[in-house]
Structure 1
Amino acid sequence: MLPISFIEIQNQILGAAVEINGTQFSLNYSSDRTPGRLAAYTRTIPVSGSHVAADLERIEIEIDIAGQHFIKTFPPETNQTYTFVWNGKDIEGRLLSGKQPVTIRTTYIYPNQEHNQRKEGTTTLGTWNAIAQGLGSWTLNVHHAYDVAGKTLYLGNGQRRNNVEAIAYNVGNINIRQGINSLTHSESRLKPTEDVSSSSVHFSGLELLDGGLTPRRDDSAQPIDLANNISIPSEGGGQLYVFDRAGKHLFTISTLTKALIYRFEYDESGYLAAVEDGDRNITRIQREVDLSIAIIAPYGQRTSLSFNTDGCLESVTNPARETSQFNYGNDGLLTSFADPKGNIYQFDYDEVGRLKSRQEPDGSFDLLERVRTEKGFQVAKITATGREATYLTERLATGEEQQVNKGCGGTGAIVALTDKNGKETITYPDGSVFTQESQPDPRFGKQVPMVKRTVLTTPGGLSATVSVDRTCTLKDANDPLSLATLTDMVNFNGRTSTTIFDAENKQVIYKSPEGRQSILTLDEGGRVIKTEVAGLEPVSFVYDDRGRLISAMQGDRAILNYNYDGEGRLSSLGNAEGDRVQYTYDEIGRIIQTTLPSGRTYQFAYDANSNLTQIIVPSGAVHTLNYNAVNLESGYVPPENPSYASTYDSEQQLTNSTLPSGRTVQGIYNQSGYLESAIYPEAQVDVTYEQESRRVTKLVRTPAEGGTPQEMTFTYDGGLVTEMAWSGVTNGTYRYRYDNNFSLVGMQLDDEPEIEMKRDADGLLTQYGQFQIVRDRATGAPTQMTDSRMKVDIEYDKSGRVISRKNMVNGKILYQLQLSYDPLNRIVQKRETVVGKTQTYDYTYDLDGQLILVKRDGEIVERYVYDDNGNRTEWQLGTEQHTASYDAQDRLIELDGTPYEFDTDGFLIQRGEMTLKYSATGELLEVSWPDGKAIQYTYDSMNRRVARTDEKGTEQYLYGNLDRPFQVTAVRDNSGKLSVYEYDDFGSLFAIERDANLYYVTTDQLGTPRVVCDLNGQAIKILDYNNFGQQIADSSAVFDLPIRFAGGVLEADTKLVRFGFRDYDSVAGKWTAKDPIGFAGGDGNLYRYVLNNSANLIDPDGKTPLVLAPIVVDALAGAAGGLATEGFKQSVIYIRTGQFDGWAVIRSPFIGAVGGIVGGAVAGFNPVAAAAAGGAATGIVDGIFTPIPEPSITASDLGSRIGSYLGSKCAADLQQSSGSGTKPVGSGAQPIRKQTRACIEVINGNQRTVQCF
């Protein structure tokens, strides 16, 4: 129940929200909905200009509003203005709510009266007063209001739409008792980015010229009159809000299926009394005699509200008796709130009620300073350290509207220009230009403006054009809800995709440019009941009468089933074999215990702000987490160990991470708020940025004890990385070439020949250098890869899982793999033929999905026993027996008599006679032995190992794959010999170029190399491993191949395998360091490798929560990890987000084929209501029929470690506003935004986001 706050920067409006326990609703506050927002009652009227006539006698201003008449007289002087402030009352003294029309006349009076001149204009004053809703100036997020006179739609989540024309609108024969469209709750969660302006064409949502008089453009849709009620479509057109003639919200329906989404009931006083959804889940608002209110959720959870003497909301108390408190100044302006732990957030306003400052409990603050300009106004946001970002809004003499956003420290400006016809042009600091033209929706006209055409041009001249054509067929031409079909045709640089909604069959049919088709079928309530991809078995979903998902199947095969407790929360998750994970909750629905199918339990505890403070693993060991006043994690205490600590500056940026040993990692930031240096005892990383765009141009890692700095440089075209170069110990340069679709079509290393790439109309690779890729016409999955000598054939079953792969060279079968699966998508049998020798492996798992038995040709070759925490304590390899012991943190103490020692920071420092040295950031720097032998390692600024040095010389590693930044793509050995590694769609190695020779590589289902052969098909290296990566055989030590188990980099002398951020000990089956992302990795054992499910799962970067081995193509991958995998993982997701991630357990093939348009279509994972998994805030129309595949300029993930230091409040303004190019280092790619309107900063606990729309 931690309050969320957000700021509309240009409009200087404060918003806040508090979730209502047991529902999908929140209470929302907006400071512009109170009488204290005097800016809404104020107009600055120009009286005279720079010249007045010599005989002018006086100037009179007359104002008429709400029956009141005001006259003001001015002398005949130049450059005068008059600021009029209305008291908000009518002539009878009654306080009015909503915008009121005002007429303003300016008369220039001369002595003879005959030459008097008069100007007259109309505008509105006032604002809608949320106090009338009876919830203390707050509103329910899904409950809206329409100001008929002011033509303004006030959304319950605090947003608004101005100039909304709407009148009587008959919803015809809609049966509002039908089921709810559980996918169209587009306002069910706080989304402050939805509507900050009247439309997608004009800046009417901003207070231009402080609300000065300007002619009103007729840019709104024509009224639609179908009788009786006022109806307004949602911004995306997916929902229809129905109001009575006074603007009271009656119900919300789906514009696709006509299904009821919400019905609103009122008491005798006209206050909201209940909200009912389409599944008859009713949330009641119970008003007590003492004027307090109880909001009672559909399953009985009770949230109590109390109010001050002015009727404003004073406190919100959840069922656990945790309370948030709120204080107000004059006329309802929120001046502070205290979270349940008593931390106080403070707000201050200027004389007209605009937000002026915000201060948080840790002392950090923002100031908003507003100044008038000749053509508009500018708002500056100034942080505690003096960083300043500016937001300029102007109306130009040409009639164009311009917005200029400029970040801190001299960062380049983002300029958005909108012409009279609504065409928008956005110019970004790097020179990229984005243009957009809009068009009216065929059903709802300009009330639902949609994109007609967009063009993105990079500084280098690449240009992507997207055009959209939407058509609809109506059964009744006068009823936009009588939908028969709705069709979107999207043309992206000449490639056309089609999405059709067939109302009669309730199907969404998507056809890609290449002709691949997917179908999604809905029920009467709009829920997804089936997803179909040609060539794959359909996935179907079943719901109970409360709209909750109860089962999922593919074909006739059960996948998962769901049970719920008496309070509507997911109580257990079951698989096809009858195993169940059980969840236990506290009074407000926080998970306090997860019980795995084996009976093992994880327990969780929280503070009053719902921060996770304690995890008790099955062994009983306790992990403790601490937080500061703004809920940033400040400490972690492992069992029987000193604490980790984190400190932050006044910008809430991480400045120091202190390890238990006392070692620190320090972050230093520049005036723009970007990381300038990261300093730790072993090295320093320095970051250089391009001045205007603030993209990273150089990274330098300098060892603290001397040595050669390792440098990386980056060159861009817009946000596309065109060159990435290493210099220092490791040297090499990759160059990248793109087409107008921004797809990579060429890659070159140094002076080597360029690897040319070709793609089909769907953007899938069909040629990679000399290799041709054949794809399934229905699914797009690769079915064959060939060159003049090699041929790889791949077969899939109806679930999209690989069942066969055959590698041939010169007609010889070098390797063949055949896989069989259980109902949980786990491999239960592998039939493998290696250079003519065939062996069959059978796999057995325990109830929690851990591999416990492997048979080869019927004989046991591997057997594993685990303790309660999943540590491998006993195992058998062939006839050999092994044992190991562990401490309370799950770190190895001893393996077969060999002692293991970890330091207090959690890194392995001794294994038998081998000594290891780790940096504070997890880089293995050196390994040494008593005989003097030693190996040193060098890293780049992204924690990637780039060199290995021993007495023989230095081996260099290069990483050229922008999509897989930890994948080694080239190695230069100590003699300078270069090897280039080629990978397939699955990320598995398939070829090596070395000394002008080409070698082919075959891999198993994990991506582990098994056979290397020459062009003639002669095997020159055959490798074998057990299922946890311990090498069993190597036929040729002469042929060097560092890529080994699961695609990691093997260190032959230590037997450690490097996966991105961590080293894996294949002998022990354990990591040598904690998961760098902690429990967010999805495992309560921070040293366990892929949950002991190594036959199915991989972890290519050492911190990815779970990655299915490359055997499933957009099928039901999640279940393969085993139910226990999801048990703990879903607990962590639920703890962090308050909801279960259904698609983590069930990923429909529809998602891959349709490009994620369904969002989270599997309803029922939300334990408190019938919402879809992950909230399902995007609706069928708002999700599917927002048909623009916005061109993304994408660069590589430039390093998660230093990324944790980036993104200050000020820096976020620019990055989130820009849309073009990449985010700061480590945060991935930033998609192009279609428009820039107003900027909103969302403060959700310790999460801060600034977006401009």
Structure 2
Amino acid sequence: MNKAEELSLTRRMLYSMNMRKLMINIIRHLVPRYWIRHQQAKFILRSLVAIILIAFAIPSHALTGTIPSGGSKYPLYPGLDISNVCYLLGVGQFATSDIGGVKWDWGLMSAQGDPLSVPGPDWNNAGAICINYPADYETSALYPRPVFRPTPPLCPPGPIFSYDPATPDVCKWTCPGDQVLVGYQCGGSKDEGPPCCEGSSPFPIHGGTGNKYWSDTDYESAANHGLIFRRYYNSRAAGTARVLGAGWSHNYDRIVTAGMKINGVSSVTVSRPGGSTYIFTANGTSYVAQDGDVTDRLIPQTDGTGKVITWEYSVAADGSVETYDAAGKLLSIRNRVDLTQTLTYSDTTTAPAIAPAPGLLLKVTDAYGRMIDFTYDSSGRINKMTDPSGGEYRYAYDADNNLVSVTLPDTKVKGYSYNEAAYTGGNTLPHTLTGVTDENGSRLASYTYDAQGRAYIGQHAGGVDQYQLNFSPDGSSTTTIDPLGTARTYSYTSILGVTRATGQSQPAGAGSAAATRSTTYDSNGNVKSRTDWNGNLTTYDYDLVRNLQTRRTEASGTPQARMITTAWHPTRDVPEKIAEPKRVIMFSYDSLGNMLGKTLQATSDATGVQGFSASVVGTPRTWTYTYNTAGQVLTATGARTDIDDTTTYTYDSHGNLATVTNALQHVTTLSNYDANGRVGRIVDQNGLITDLAYSPRGWLTSKTVGGETTTYDHDGVGQLTKVTLPDDGYISYTYDPAHRLTHVADNLGNSITYTLDAMGNRLKEEVKDAGGTLARQTTRIYDALNRLQQITGGQQ
């Protein structure tokens, strides 16, 4: 069958299935419900539906179609065909046009207000059953529905399905490598997100996996618990299509995917900002992290029947709690002092011009009522975000579903390039990010990939800052060549699904021999020991339940060993006591985790080995703090006891700092905040007024003090290009396309010129006077290990 025939068949399928849906609804509304509860009516109704199906020439033996390479679509994602929607049990909307690539048997099934019963739990968990509900489905309604299932042994693409002839009704899915199911697509793993380990290039590219990671912050409020919109790209997730196109996600794009079985155990995956995904497995009525390196908690909230109503995800690191609905959509983010950001989604009443389908994020509202808003294109991708001040950010995509540009509030454009032959070796990698163009219109960065889709070269404009990664055939090591041409080899191991560096070797440098350093880990992936280039050993101990470091021993095994011991709060990831050589530090907290006090006590323990039992010396010094209900400091009292050492703070109704009163009762006021939380006026304790103005991107553009104004100019990426003083004197700054400062000059003609090497080191500085005469020159020499070896300079 050629492409045209496939398209024609798909269109006929959608038309016929829509007509079937229409006719079923007509029958349902024409026939009284009490009558169709009888078996005879069921038979008649099935017959009518069968006649309708025959009339519209739907083959009863199979339905076929095509499927994108990224796998089946999930609600909220691009490609949802809202004209003909199927529902996967326990999953949500699922486009029939996206579940092709497999033959589907269909039959009829009736319900009487109760959940449908289908063969075997794996049907539900694997999502291998599609039920075509009419759009106005009511749970109490009774009418037949077509039910589709894959015809063995063909299983849908996307995740890797396995088929067992002994259980023909089951397609069990797995994902390649360490990927897991996110929104019923193979996607994130714990290795995605910012590279965790040594040996990764600073672009960054993960040295162990070749994952190209990139993040851009489009908007960030300066307000308390302020809103933020940050985008993340992972090349290893490039086949995953979300609301920012292939490979991209954002900080509110978090999903709880339930109803799966992993190795026979009911499991839930949780996608995190940046791309990482964690697995939680059922343990009675609760869920626990599958891996010991994850200390976050996932708690289902259920009704009286045990049905999950919401999920609560507690983040151990900062004490925040995320709430998700039963389908896995993020509803709110509450910080440790109960300030909440609330997420609102589209529904069936939302105008298609705003969101083409239900379940798309429309806005995020912070605790003070500030909002960021989203609209979508017809494919369900974000095409505009509006910040609280009305600034607009517009997103555009190419025909391959790649995010290609972001137009910012000042009309500057940031661009992204993909699958450029010069950077893919001629391989077809449609969603691999190969280049970034900055807001000045210049190519900022380029990335090269091998045939396996691993990024192995990253460089900035002009070939500077280039790092090249050479992967070993078995993936156990990577040799990284830095911009100076020096090769270092890193070894790796995978612990609980995370690729971690275990060792590094480097060549000799000026005055030093070739050397190695190494790292070991415990069973939870915590660093157990580090041996540095000189052979010095540092060891670490942990509370393995919470993965919190309890002891660090420096120069371990030598007479010079130093020990640092930490005791932690019983329920929060904050220290209560830290014992170091010669002192102990103690902390106290309120019930919300605000630090109420800090006490420093000197001890006689020179090495720290006595820990909290060390003998005290002298008088302790204590700092104390009070807070408002939003967790903001109201008073801060210093350690001096002979004077009043308290500073007091007040805030306006939007949580912005309003006044600061020092211990002498001198008051500084702050006011005229904009919608993004940036202060507009400061009046100091002497009454001197400072007015501040900002660009649409949030950069300071002018500062007026006592009527005298200084202005600040920036280029498209925010680099400071000129400072003009009140007397019209100025200083200008010039940068190369790699965003490195190369020249500074003033209005009189005095200048400084920097000559840089490929690493960005300043090899030469030339200072010239107003007449262009060289006044001073400084040169520097670095060795192959990027260590400064020589400085030569002086007056000319």
Shorter-chain TM range is: 0.5 to 0.7
Specify the SS of the correspondent of 1:199. Answer: helix
Distance 1:280 1:556, change over 3 A: farther
Q: Is the 8 A contact 2:520 2:530 kept in 1?
A: no
Match of 1:508 in 2: 503
- Structure 1 residues 550 and 335 mapped into 2: Cα distance closer, same or farther (>3 Å)? closer
**2: distance between equivalents of 1:454 and 1:317?**
33
| Residue in structure 2 matched with residue 960 of structure 1 by the alignment | none
Q: 1:347 aligns with which of 344, 347, 350?
A: 344
Distance change in 2, residues 1:291/1:594 (3 Å): farther
In structure 2, do the counterparts of structure 1 residues 47 and 637 end up closer, same or farther at CA, with 3 Å as the change threshold?
farther
Q: Residues 158 and 681 (structure 1 numbering): CA distance in 2 closer, same or farther, change over 3 Å?
A: farther
Query: What letter matches 1:425 in structure 2?
Result: G
CA distance in 2, matches of 1:63, 1:490: 59
Distance in 2 between residues matched to 1:634 and 1:389, nearest whole Å? 30
Using the TM superposition, give the Cα deviation of residue 616 of structure 1 relative to its aligned residue in structure 2, in angstroms: 2.3
Structure-1 residue corresponding to 2:732: 713
Instruction: Tell me what 1:661 maps to.
Output: 686
Q: Match for residue 553 of structure 2? A: 552
Separation in structure 2 between the aligned mates of residue 250 and residue 338 of structure 1, nearest angstrom: 21
Distance of 1:355 and 1:496 partners within structure 2: 46
1:494 shift after superposition: 2.9
Structure 1 residue 511: deviation in Å? 2.0
Residue 590 of structure 1: which of 591, 594, 602 is its match? 594
Q: Which whole-Å CA distance do the structure 2 matches of 1:762 and 1:521 have between them?
A: 20
Counterpart code for 2:466: T
> Structure 1 residues 198, 494: CA separation in 2 closer, same or farther (over 3 Å shift)?
closer
Distance 1:763 1:323 in 2: 41
SS in 2 for 1:312: strand
The 3 A distance-change label for structure 1 pair 661 and 341 is: farther
Residue in 2 that maps onto 1:573? 578
Aligned-residue offset at 1:762: 2.0
State how far apart, in whole Å, the 2-side matches of 1:759 and 1:315 are: 49
Structure 1: distance between partners of 2:264 and 2:160: 10
Q: Quote how far apart the aligned CAs of 1:82 are.
A: 11
1:99 deviates by 5.7
Shift of the alpha carbon at 1:437?
2.2
Contact 2:299 2:313 in 1 (8 A): no
TM-superposed deviation, 1:124: 12
Would you say the 8 A contact 2:85–2:93 is kept in 1?
A: no
The 5-angstrom pairing of residues 608-757 of structure 1 reads 608-618=629-639, 619=641, 621-628=645-652, 631-647=655-671, 648-681=673-706, 683-690=708-715, 692-702=716-726, 708-718=727-737, 719-727=739-747, 732-750=750-768, 751-752=773-774, 754-757=777-780
Cα distance between partner residues in 2 of 1:281 and 1:684: 51
CA distance in 2, matches of 1:165, 1:335: 21
The amino acid of 2:410's aligned partner reads G
Q: Does 1:486 align with 2:492?
A: no
> Closer, same or farther in 2 for the Cα pair 1:698/1:631, shift >3 Å?
same
Q: Secondary structure at the match of 2:751?
A: strand
Q: CA deviation at 1:630?
A: 5.4
- The residue identity in structure 1 corresponding to 2:383 is V
Whether 1:61 aligns to 2:14 is: yes
Q: Give secondary structure in 1 for the equivalent of 2:631.
A: coil
Contact 2:723 2:732 in 1 (8 A): yes
In 1, Cα distance between the equivalents of 2:98 and 2:543? 57
**Would the alpha carbon gap of residues 272 and 488 (structure 1) be closer, same or farther in structure 2, given more than 3 Å must change?**
farther
Please give the residue correspondences for 1:896-907 in structure 2 after superposition, counting only pairs within 5 Å: none
Cα distance per residue 1:1021-1075 (max 9 Å; x no partner): xxxxxxxxxxxxxxxxxxxxxxxxxxxxxxxxxxxxxxxxxxxxxxxxxxxxxxx
CA apart distance, 1:684:
1.7
- 1:88 is displaced (CA, Å) by 4.6
The aligned counterpart of 2:456 is 452
Q: CA deviation at 1:761?
A: 1.4
Give the corresponding residue for 1:174.
Answer: none
CA distance in 2, matches of 1:673, 1:583: 36
Classify 1:159/1:695 alpha carbon distance in 2 versus 1 (closer, same or farther; 3 Å): farther
Cα distance in 1, alignment partners of residues 233 and 679 from structure 2: 32
Question: In the alignment, is residue 497 of structure 1 matched against residue 496 of structure 2?
Answer: no
Deviations 1:956-995 (A, max 9, x none): xxxxxxxxxxxxxxxxxxxxxxxxxxxxxxxxxxxxx45x
TM-score, structure 1 as length reference: 0.38
Question: What TM-score does the superposition give when structure 2 sets the normalisation length?
Answer: 0.57
Q: Which has the higher contact order (CA 8 A, sep 6+)?
A: 1
CA contact (8 A) 1:501 1:508 kept: yes
Equivalent-residue separation in structure 2 for 1:657 and 1:365 (angstroms): 26
The alpha carbon displacement at 1:451 in A equals: 1.8
Unaligned runs of 5+ in 2: 22-48, 57-78, 101-127, 132-158, 162-170, 190-207, 212-226, 248-259, 272-276, 352-356, 421-427, 602-618
Kindly tell me: are residues 265 and 313 of structure 1, through their superposed partners in 2, closer, same or farther at Cα, counting changes over 3 Å? Answer: closer
- Do the aligned partners of 1:102 and 1:124 also contact (CA within 8 Å) in 2? no
Gap change, CA 1:342 and 1:764, over 3 Å in 2: closer
**In the superposition, relative to structure 1, how do residues 585 and 290 fare at CA in structure 2: closer, same or farther (>3 Å)?**
farther
Q: Aligned partners of 1:336, 1:262: CA distance in 2, in Å?
A: 19
- Structure 1 match to 2:116: none
Query: Of the candidates 769, 778, 783, which is equivalent to residue 760 of structure 1?
Result: 783
- What secondary structure does 1:61 align onto? helix
Inter-CA distance 61–513: structure 2 relative to 1 (3 Å threshold) = farther
Shift of residue 748, structure 1, vs aligned partner: 0.5
Q: Distance in 1 between matches of 2:666 and 2:187?
A: 60
The one-letter amino acid paired with 1:562 is T
Pairwise CA RMSD of aligned residues? 5.6
Question: 1:540-589 CA deviation, whole Å, 9 max, x = no partner?
Answer: 33446765322423233243432426727633222334x32222233344
Is the deviation greater in 341-350 or in 718-727?
Answer: 341-350
> Are the structure 2 counterparts of residues 595 and 756 from structure 1 closer, same or farther at C-alpha, using a change threshold of 3 Å?
closer
Counterpart amino acid of 1:538? L
* Structure 2 Cα separation of the partners of residues 356 and 282 of structure 1: 27
Superposition map of 1:294-305 within 5 A = none
Deviations 1:1179-1228 (A, max 9, x none): xxxxxxxxxxxxxxxxxxxxxxxxxxxxxxxxxxxxxxxxxxxxxxxxxx
CA distance 1:737–1:246, change in 2 (3 Å): same
In the aligned structure 2, how far is the partner of 1:593 from the partner of 1:760?
48
Contact 2:298–2:312 (Cα < 8 Å) also in 1: no
Aligned equivalent of 1:437, options 432, 448, 454: 448
SS of equivalent residue, structure 1 residue 311: strand
What does 1:1013-1092 align with in structure 2 at a 5 Å threshold? none
State the shift of 1:379 in Å: 1.0
Residue 989 of structure 1 is matched in structure 2 by none
Distance 1:661 1:405, change over 3 A: same
Correspondence 1:52-201 to 2 at 5 A = 61-62=14-15, 84-86=82-84, 88-89=86-87, 95-96=90-91, 102=97, 162-164=185-187, 199=236, 201=238
Deviations 1:659-683 (A, max 9, x none): 2333332211234443221112163
Deviation, structure 1 residue 263: 9.0
* Aligned residue identity for 1:738: L
**Secondary structure at the counterpart of residue 685 of structure 2:** coil
Residue in structure 1 matched with residue 44 of structure 2 by the alignment? none
The answer for the alignment partner of 1:356 in structure 2 is: 362
Q: Does the Cα contact within 8 Å between 1:605 and 1:613 map onto a contact in 2?
A: yes
Q: State the distance in 2 between where 1:766 and 1:540 align.
A: 32
CA gap of 1:157–1:697, structure 2 versus 1, over 3 A, is farther
Count the aligned residue pairs. 561
- The amino acid of 2:625's aligned partner reads F
For 1:341 and 1:251, how far apart are their aligned partners in 2? Answer: 22
Letter in 1 for 2:580: N
State the shift of 1:733 in Å: 0.7
Q: Distance in 2 between matches of 1:544 and 1:288?
A: 31
